[in-house]
Amino acid sequence: MAGKDIICILVAYLLGGICTGYYLVRFKEKLDIRECGSGGVGARNVGRVLGKPGFIVTMLGDSLKGLVAIMLARRFEIAEPAVSLVLVAVIAGHIWPLPLQFRGGRGIATAIGAYLAYDPFIALLLLVLTGVLMVFRRGFILSGLAAFSLLPLVAYAVELPGHTVAALAGASVIILFAHRERLRKAFAQALPPKEA
C-alpha cells in the first residue's frame, strides 16, 4: 500500500470524527449531546434538542463528510482497494471519533454519503433493500439495519469487486455493532415472554 493510500485512510478517519451534531449542539445550546436523550451524536438525537433544523443540518453534515472522504480519495487517485478502506475508515471515525474519546454516532448518515460517492448503484441497492424490508416489517431503522447487513451479499451476487464487498461487509459490521443496544431491545421484544 502506497504512502498516499495510508494518508487518505487516516484523513478519512479524522474527517469522520468531526461529528456535526456534537459541535452544533455545543455551539447552539452549550450542551454535550452525548448527555442528552439517547446519548448519540446523530441526527435523531440532535433533533430532540434542536428540532427539525438541527436534525436536517446534522444529517447533511454527517452525510457530507462521508461523501467528501471518498471524493478526496478519488481526487488523489489512490488504488481502488484503498478507496474501499477509506469508506470503512470514515464510518469508523464517526462511530469512534478521536476528539470525542471514541464516543460518537452510529454511522448511518456517514455511510450513506460515502456510498453515494463510492458508487451510486450501491446507495440505490441500499434504498431498495430498505424499502422491500419495510413491506415485511414496520420500522425504518430496523429495516435499514437489515438492509445494511444484506448489502454485502447482494453486492457479491451482482459481482461487484471483492474489495468492495469486503468494505461493505466491514461497514455493516461496525454499524450493527454501534446499534447493538437497539438490536438487543428489538430482539427482546420480538421473543415470546417466558412462562412463569
- Tell me which of 196 and 191 has the higher pLDDT: 191
Most confident range (mean pLDDT) of 33-42, 59-68, 126-135, 140-149 is: 59-68
Position 7 scores a pLDDT of: 94
- Number of domains, the chain: 1
Please state the φ and ψ torsions of residue 105, each to the nearest 5 degrees: -95, -160
pLDDT, average across residues 25-48: 88
* C-alpha cell recorded at residue 63: 452525510
For cell 460517492, the residue is 117
pLDDT tens track for 8-31: 999 999 999 999 999 999 999 998
Helices then strands, each counted (H, E), the chain:
9, 0
Domain that holds residue 74: 3-190
Q: For residue 111, tell me if it sits in a domain.
A: yes
Q: For residue 195, tell me if it sits in a domain.
A: no
Position 196 scores a pLDDT of: 47
Q: For residue 196, tell me if it sits in a domain.
A: no
* C-alpha cell recorded at residue 110: 456517514
How far, in Å, are 70, 118, 145, 159, 160 from residue 104 at the CA level?
Answer: 20, 23, 18, 33, 30
Banded pLDDT at 65 (limits 50, 70, 90): very high
DSSP label of 30: S
